[in-house]
Structure 1
Amino acid sequence: MASSTMNVRRIKLGSHGLEVSAQGLGCMGMSMAYGPPKPDDEMIELIHFAINSGITLLDTSDIYGPFTNELLIGKALEGEWRKKVEVATKFGFKFVDDGNESYKLEKYGDPAYVRAACEASLKRLGVDCIDLYYQHRVDTSIPIEVTMSELKKLVEEGKIKYIGLSEVSPSTIRRAHAVHPLTAVQLEWSVWCREVEEEIIPTCRELGIGIVAYSPLGRGFLSLGAKVMDNLIDSDFRKTLPRLQPENMEHNKLLFEKMSKIASKKGCTTSQLALAWVHHQGEDVCPIPGTTKIENLKQNMGALAISLTTEEMAELESLADQVKGDRYGPMQSSNTWKNSQTPPLSSWKA
């Protein structure tokens, strides 16, 4: 297994001054989606370990929990810890009463909501300024220019430093960037999720926008293969993902077996191999694997020391063509970049 005892290199994210560790830490799974929330003290220990190891980009969102993940990050960053990190959080989802004693998620991007969400995140995180503030998903009922104009005001007021978008189409990226420069676009990118390479990645590079790759380990599949589905609780988000369903898993586990053989030859784990592939995409790319275990964090950091040849990269890339199943189910597909177009600005009546 590749060693994790190293200095994590720094990269420039975007072309407007933000520098981050070449690998970040996705914090969502500490509070939701992948099993029950983990104990705060254990997660704070993990976050501090990551920071002391050189991982400084912490990725959260107001919807994680909801709200509890930001509170956790806030606790972890008390005192001198805040000065050592770049905090990225997100807005854009709101729980709305559906009238049946339950709640549904709706997307919001109107100026009043943008401002209120930012103020609430600042308070939960216990910070004066958010380093990187993303629109988590685009509100397709509001021109992107309207949302970006409010974010621009928040930059001017010193409440956020840099602006990002997540799961967003090339045309929406261009329209947003014309209002205020984007620093980062967050998207799903991994060995088995490469659809963003055709248009989104080139658009970001043309405009000097950094790329933050979420789920670089394929929701754990690229770490464990079919075993990732063993013993999951009913509410685990992965139970809704088509690629991880039995009818597709039988096929997809062949991909994992091929990756395992390559990793074995390299003397590394499949997780490290998958992360190394993302790192080899360029110095403008920062993967943010999540974990709740220090041992896994060390292993993930080991990917930074792995060098892949052109032949090994090609061998890994050929596997993506063999993936079976969509990355999201029908309920979530409306929240992907393919459905992120917004109305023209001329249609907006404030």
Structure 2
Amino acid sequence: MNEGRCIKRTEGSVLKLPFHIDRHIIHFKKTSNKHQTNIKQTSKQHIHIQLSKMPRLPTRKLGKYGPEVVAQGFGTMGLSTFYGKVDSEEERFKVLDQAVELGQTNWDTADMYGDSEDLLGKWFKRTGKRDQIFLATKFANKIDAAGNFSTDSSPGYVKEACAKSLQRLGVKTIDLYYCHRVDGKTPIEKTVEAMAELKRDGKVKYLGLSEVSAKTIRRAEKVHHIDAVQIEYSPFALDIEQNDVLKTCRQLGIAIVAYSPLGRGFLTGQYKSPADFEPTDFRRILPRFSAENFPKNLVLVNDLAKIASAKGVTSGQLTLAWLAAQGDDVISIPGTKKIKYLDENVGALHVQLSREEEREIRTAIEKVVVSGTRYPAGMSDSCFADTPEL
């Protein structure tokens, strides 16, 4: 069972983060498908993809009115910011190239992810493969060069942000456009009306929200259908099962897009202490990875690792397969900077769990109380946020 949620900052305030972001990296402040696939077991006990023999990846429908998209997306945040050192453009292009080779064409980014939109725009221009990618991006979160964090979901900013994203990406249309966070002062109806206008103008195709409450989702749906709600969901974060967000999305035919499905990499078992994170890694300021909470949360990681080993897959693959088994409306978007982990994550699409294995994993998850909140106090406008009434 999980505990802890985001702590809301004061409405309308500007939060000073303990780092600043340029277009490439976080700086902490001293104060604080032409191929077919063959899946095989390797000696390292994980699903390995051979590019020479790769089948088309499975797909899922994006809500009741949306298109079929690859059942697991690719989160591009880590390519450009938040998780330590950022590689050269050429190295990052190789990761994007590999994603397409694998058939992983469901990509997620945001305008606040460092140079992510610029990078994708350059890749589209370089390869001419824009039409192969289902592209999602987001607006509303803002971080300036001095590290000041704020949120703006006003109608005027919706249109301004979209225009800038289209320019950076070098595209005419964004497939899925999310409101990343709500600002606590703009009624959700006004935000969604502006997003719907972008859709009517052909600038976006589908609409999404992120980190909003069930009540806010229902209010938004009355203005225009919401195709996806992006929310943290993993064995490390089960909040949506307990606060009506999952239930509401299913009642309304809205896809759940699960960000941080691997617990920001923690559930892969790669990290044994906070010291394993690079000095500029965002996870160093997250309560769940503090020196006090880290060893407590490793209990869950170790338990999942035992189940994964018995099945002959990696911990990450087991976690992604379990999340996929929670419903056909759940689409996870794991991210990575490394090709080997991209291969591993995509391999999880071919991992099938029996009902007994699902129950075993659920039992392991529910017997552990996750220590620490997802975010530090005041970092985000809110999690599962409401907005003022009209």
Q: TM-score, normalised by structure 2?
A: 0.83
Q: Secondary structure at the match of 1:191?
A: coil
For the structure 1 residues 279 and 83, does the alpha-carbon distance in structure 2 shift closer, same or farther, using more than 3 Å as the test? same
- Which runs of no fewer than 5 residues in structure 1 stay unpaired? 346-350
- Residues 1:130 and 2:179 aligned together: no
**1:111-130 equivalences in 2 (<5 Å):** 111-130=155-174
- Per mean C-alpha deviation after superposition, the further-off stretch among 87-96 and 281-290 is 87-96
Deviation at 1:263, TM superposition (A): 0.6
Q: Secondary structure at the match of 1:186?
A: strand
Deviation at 1:103, TM superposition (A): 4.0
Q: Is the contact between residue 142 and residue 342 of structure 1 (CA under 8 Å) also seen in structure 2?
A: yes
Deviation at 1:225, TM superposition (A): 5.1
Higher helix proportion (structure 1 or 2)? 1
Give 1:184's match in structure 2, choosing from 205, 222, 228: 228
Instruction: Give the distance between the partners of 2:374 and 2:143, measured in 1 at CA.
Output: 24
Write out per-residue CA displacement over residues 261-284 of structure 1, whole angstroms, 9 at most, x where no aligned residue. Answer: 101100000000000011111221
Q: Whose RCO is larger (CA < 8 A, sep 6+)?
A: 2
Q: TM-score, normalised by structure 1?
A: 0.93
Instruction: Give the distance between the partners of 2:381 and 2:118, measured in 1 at CA.
Output: 28
Q: Secondary structure at the match of 2:135?
A: strand
- Residues 1:70 and 2:117 aligned together: yes
- Residues 1:29 and 2:78 aligned together: yes
- Residues 1:273 and 2:311 aligned together: no
Give 1:55's match in structure 2, choosing from 98, 104, 107: 104
Partner of 2:330: 285
Q: Count residues in correspondence.
A: 337
Instruction: Give the distance between the partners of 2:175 and 2:87, measured in 1 at CA.
Output: 25
Give 1:81's match in structure 2, choosing from 121, 129, 133: 129
- Per mean C-alpha deviation after superposition, the further-off stretch among 208-217 and 218-227 is 218-227
Instruction: Give the distance between the partners of 2:249 and 2:189, measured in 1 at CA.
Output: 18
Deviation at 1:131, TM superposition (A): 0.2
Give 1:233's match in structure 2, choosing from 270, 274, 278: 278
AA of the residue aligned to 1:71: D
Partner of 1:94: 142
Q: Secondary structure at the match of 1:142?
A: coil
AA of the residue aligned to 1:295: K
Write out per-residue CA displacement over residues 61-86 of structure 1, whole angstroms, 9 at most, x where no aligned residue. Answer: 00011xx1100011112253101011
Deviation at 1:315, TM superposition (A): 1.9
Instruction: Give the distance between the partners of 2:270 and 2:219, measured in 1 at CA.
Output: 39
Instruction: Give the distance between the partners of 1:84 and 1:228, measured in 2 at CA.
Output: 39
Q: Percent identity?
A: 45
Instruction: Give the distance between the partners of 1:148 and 1:108, measured in 2 at CA.
Output: 13
Deviation at 1:231, TM superposition (A): 3.8
AA of the residue aligned to 2:168: R
Moved >6 Å (runs of 4+): none
Q: Secondary structure at the match of 1:227?
A: coil
Partner of 1:348: none
